[in-house]
Amino acid sequence: MIVYLRDIDGLNGFSNPLMVDFRGATPQLDFSEMPTDLTSGKESTLKFNIIDADGNDGTECSILMTEPNGITVISELFHPDAGGDWIHAWTPTGDSETNYTFQIACLDESGLSVNREILLRAREANQSATVNETTDETSKGPPSALTGIVIGVVGLFLLLLLLISGIFVSNRSDDLPIEEEVLPDDAWSKTAGEESDEILLEMAGLSPTSLSEMTEITDWTDEQLIEAGWSQEQIDAYREEE
């Protein structure tokens, strides 16, 4: 760079060449909102912010988080926007105490970089609290498939019980003895002809004292019957029955 100079007397001139090196601002990392005390088995939100006075355009960050045995947990490239926030929901695996190493390296458009490494500690999970949470979720959840199967089996058992009861009652009804009306022997002692004779005698005003007297009357003449007070129609009916 050459500077043009002019004094109060009107003299002017140029300075010797000067070397000027313009450098951009170095990115800065802010981990104030990054949780460092985690709990195994419980979700946490990881967060950091990158600040660059020259802006975040063209800035690229490499993020890596590993377990103590070197197994990679998180690995990604991050291109920050104007706000520069990186947010990631993550749950430490298992239920024992574990330490995780979180590393980040960022390079801006002017070639300036920043690196940072922090230790994230995941405490051992509270077993009693975990069990209680699991029990609460189970009790609040919908009925399981096993509950539906049990209800179906109980319903089927009740249906079978009703069917068996109906069959048993039906069989008992079929086994009950049928009482038949038994007529006394003396109801069959008179023949149809004897009953007709007795009815005709009663109609004629004759009342034999016993069946033996009626059997002795073997033949009646029309004249005898008329004398006894019979009508011709009664005599004809009596003759037809004989």
Q: Summarize pLDDT for 90-116 with one digit per residue, the tens.
A: 999 888 899 999 999 999 988 899 999
Ordered by start, the domain boundaries in the chain are 28-125, 190-241
Beta-strand relationship, 72-78 and 113-123 = unpaired
List, in sequence order, every residue forming a beta bridge with 66; answer none if it has no partner.
Answer: 72, 101
Nearest residue to 48 (alpha-carbon basis) of 125, 114, 98, 141: 114
CA 58 distance to own-chain centroid: 53
Q: How confident is the model at residue 128 (pLDDT cuts 50, 70, 90)?
A: low
> Residue 12 belongs to what H/E stretch?
strand 12-14
Average pLDDT on 155-179 reads: 71
Residue carrying structure tokens 């947990």 = 73
* Reported confidence tier of residue 30, pLDDT bands at 50, 70, 90: very high
pTM of the model: 0.45
Q: If you average pLDDT over residues 64-83, what whole number do you get?
A: 93
Cα 242 from Cα 239, distance rounded (Å): 5
Q: Return the pLDDT at 106.
A: 94
**pLDDT for 71 beyond 60:** yes
Mean per-residue pLDDT, 32-47: 90
Q: Of the given ranges (55-59, 165-169, 206-210), which has the lowest mean pLDDT? A: 206-210
H/E element, 218: none
Helices (H), the chain: 127-140, 145-175, 192-204, 211-216, 222-227, 232-241
Per DSSP bridges, beta strands 60-66 and 72-78 are: antiparallel
Tell me the C-alpha distance between 230 and 236, whole Å.
10
pLDDT at 205 over 60: no
Identify whether the C-beta of residue 118 lies closer than 8 Å to the C-beta of residue 34: yes
State how far the alpha carbon of 2 is from the alpha carbons of 6, 7, 12, 20, in Å.
13, 16, 13, 10
Q: Could you tell me the fold of the domain covering 28-125? A: Immunoglobulin-like (2.60.40)
Chain position carrying tokens 């313009």: 22
